[in-house]
Amino acid sequence: NAGVTQTPKFRILKIGQSMTLQCAQDMNHNYMYWYRQDPGMGLKLIYYSVGAGITDKGEVPNGYNVSRSTTEDFPLRLELAAPSQTSVYFCASSYSGQGGHEQYFGPGTRLTVT
Amino acid sequence: AQKITQTQPGMFVQEKEAVTLDCTYDTSDPSYGLFWYKQPSSGEMIFLIYQGSYDQQNATEGRYSLNFQKARKSANLVISASQLGDSAMYFCAMREGGNDYKLSFGAGTTVTVRA
């Protein structure tokens, strides 16, 4: 199992550009999440999905969009990039939301907007 | 209001000694779970230990144990016999009941193990 994979690992965007961060998991997990981590801070939830075709906003959704057409993939779209979106983005997945089922994280994408 | 509070931004510990990382949480939900994750300098998030709100005993996983004090709403992580490889950022996180299954993270504590 590759687990949770994310591409790209690094990206520099100019203000106003758009891009899609890719996330895929091969563990057949229903639940998937996108977080951002600003320097020296904890993770904040951007969007999450409890299954294919179902997405919902997290704590900091403004400036982002997601889709979940398959169980495996959960891309995050940035429209009109702003310097405030400079961050490390983590995708995660979990088998269930109950009990001790932990979230498995991808390696992260480091994004700089200048 | 902050759901997870980690008051120690950074800690130093001598190799082979134990270290306790503080975590307090705020929830009115009777059903919740508490997680600890490790983030080494390479950046990945590594799951360490889980404690459910209804668990009667404190969770343990190898050198990691969780000191769960429900009435005080604290879930401190204890790392015993520290190793140089334990140097990392440690995050406490909480998942509340319901269908959201979302994790709320604290700001983290940086641990540096000295030889």
The string of pLDDT tens digits covering residues B71-96 is 999 999 999 999 999 999 999 999 98
- Asked if the C-beta of A45 comes within 8 angstroms of chain B's C-beta atoms, the answer is yes
Mutate to test the interface with B, among A102, A104, A105, A111 (most CBs of B within 10 A): A102
Cα A91 to Cα B45: distance, rounded to the nearest angstrom: 10
Looking at chain A, which residue has its C-alpha nearest residue B5? A42
pLDDT tier at B65, thresholds 50, 70, 90: very high
Cα B80 to Cα B20: distance, rounded to the nearest angstrom: 9
Q: Count of CB atoms within 10 A of residue A86's CB?
A: 17
Nearest to A42 among B50, B99, B107 (CB): B107
Cβ partners under 8 Å of residue A26, min gap 6: A1, A2, A3, A72
Predicted local confidence at residue A90, as pLDDT: 97
Contact A10, A87 (CB under 8 A): no
For residue B11, pLDDT beyond 80: yes
Inter-chain touch B43–A92, beta carbons under 8 Å: no
Predicted local confidence at residue A82, as pLDDT: 96
pLDDT tier at A102, thresholds 50, 70, 90: confident
Mutate to test the interface with A, among B35, B90, B102 (most CBs of A within 10 A): B102
Cα B93 to Cα B45: distance, rounded to the nearest angstrom: 12
Spell out which residues of chain B touch residue A35, defining contact as CB-CB under 8 Å.
105
Nearest to B60 by CA among B17, B104, B68: B68
For residue B109, pLDDT beyond 90: yes
Cα B69 to Cα B52: distance, rounded to the nearest angstrom: 12
Residue A29: φ, ψ to 5°: -80, 140
Looking at chain B, which residue has its C-alpha nearest residue A34? B102
- Amino acid at the residue B7: T
Cα B61 to Cα B51: distance, rounded to the nearest angstrom: 11
Nearest to A100 among B33, B93, B99 (CB): B33
